[in-house]
């Protein structure tokens, strides 16, 4: 049987992930006390042997509330259970501290580790340290910074739908180096050496999704060489990772601001990889951080309710 463990930081979307699994047929248990993990897994092996395919599969949520003093013992428990024929997959959800602070402020929820002498930012960093043993044994990590509810649901389903498919689901993410490299990227490619549409007044307010920006970039031999080289690299090496059993791959494409060159390249790579039969999810991190996102019209109310 297969048991899915959903863990990660409070506010990173564990409840959304568990509800996503519940919607596709998993029995889900949130905030399981850690001293019950071993006995629960053995009991499930006896009563739900089919598991893992959405017809009798089980997922449990484990976080700092489950028993902070026992978290460092979880990797050993997992190893012991796997030795008894139980397949355990850990999916770890993370987000950067400013995003988590913003989410708790928006939802007005209390972080489980805050106290009279421990403010929110310190509680987040304490939880990050406590959960480090689980992060290290996770088969997949998802950075939900800038991710809305619908994207997170698709990421979770992509992680679980690996069986029976020829290619691993791929997340292509554009980003700006000025805001940091995505924490969970498997590959990171730097496009800052390419001509920058930002310095063209007519192109500056546009993005790499716009035809005018694409035409500007495609007139550059360097851009076309970079695109062809990236396609050749991915066509050659992605099958090796899939053969190795990777359930999900994240490819980060970065430029300075994350609006033009990286967005264009992600869109171009996505079109190519889709023709090869890959499952593709595209995210443009910096486009989601524009000021408009903070307005009531652009801010996803479901994100406020569920990513907390």
Query: Higher-confidence residue: 220 or 73?
Result: 220
Q: Is residue 7 very low, low, confident or very high in pLDDT (cuts 50, 70, 90)? A: very high
Averaged over 271-290, what is the pLDDT?
86
Residue 93 DSSP class: E
Q: Is residue 164 very low, low, confident or very high in pLDDT (cuts 50, 70, 90)? A: very low
Task: Judge whether residue 50 has pLDDT over 70.
Answer: no
Tell me the C-alpha distance between 103 and 121, whole Å.
Answer: 12
Averaged over 76-83, what is the pLDDT?
89
pLDDT at position 42, please? 87
* pLDDT over 90, % of the chain: 45
Task: Judge whether residue 244 has pLDDT over 70.
Answer: no
Averaged over 153-176, what is the pLDDT?
73
Task: Judge whether residue 34 has pLDDT over 90.
Answer: no
Mean pLDDT computed over every residue of the chain: 84
Domain range list for the chain: 2-160, 170-306
CB 13 within 8 A of CB 152: yes
Task: Say yes or no: domain 2-160 is CATH 3.40.190.10.
Answer: no
Query: Higher-confidence residue: 119 or 150?
Result: 119
CA neighbor of 17 nearest in space, from 162, 147, 163: 147
């Amino acid at each position: 049987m297969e048991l899915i463990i959903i863990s990660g930081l409070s506010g990173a979307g564990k409840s959304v992930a568990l509800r996503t699994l519940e919607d596709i047929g998993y029995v889900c248990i949130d905030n399981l006390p850690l001293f019950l993990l071993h006995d629960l897994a053995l009991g499930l092996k006896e009563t739900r042997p089919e598991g893992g395919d959405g017809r009798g599969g089980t997922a449990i949520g484990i976080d700092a509330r489950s028993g902070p003093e026992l978290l460092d013992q979880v990797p050993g428990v997992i190893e012991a259970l796997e030795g008894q024929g139980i397949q355990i997959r850990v999916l770890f959800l993370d987000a950067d501290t400013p995003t988590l602070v913003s989410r708790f402020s928006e939802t007005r929820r209390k972080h489980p580790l805050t106290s009279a002498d421990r403010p929110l930012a310190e509680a987040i960093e304490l939880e990050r340290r406590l959960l480090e043993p689980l992060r290290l044994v996770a088969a997949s990590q998802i950075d939900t910074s800038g991710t809305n509810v619908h994207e997170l649901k698709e990421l979770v389903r992509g992680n679980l739908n690996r069986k029976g498919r020829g290619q691993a689901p791929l997340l292509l993410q554009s980003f700006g180096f000025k805001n940091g490299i995505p924490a969970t990227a498997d590959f990171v490619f730097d496009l800052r050496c390419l001509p920058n549409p930002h310095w063209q007044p007519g192109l500056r307010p546009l993005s790499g999704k716009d035809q005018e920006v694409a035409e500007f970039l495609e007139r550059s031999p360097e851009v076309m060489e970079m695109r062809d080289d990236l396609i050749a690299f991915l066509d050659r090496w992605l099958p090796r990772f899939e053969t190795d059993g990777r359930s999900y791959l994240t490819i980060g494409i970065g430029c300075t601001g994350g609006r033009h060159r990286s967005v264009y390249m992600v869109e171009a790579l996505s079109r190519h990889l889709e023709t090869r039969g890959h499952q593709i999810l595209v995210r443009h991190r910096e486009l989601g951080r524009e000021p408009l996102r903070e307005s009531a019209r652009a801010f996803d109310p479901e994100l406020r309710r569920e990513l907390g």
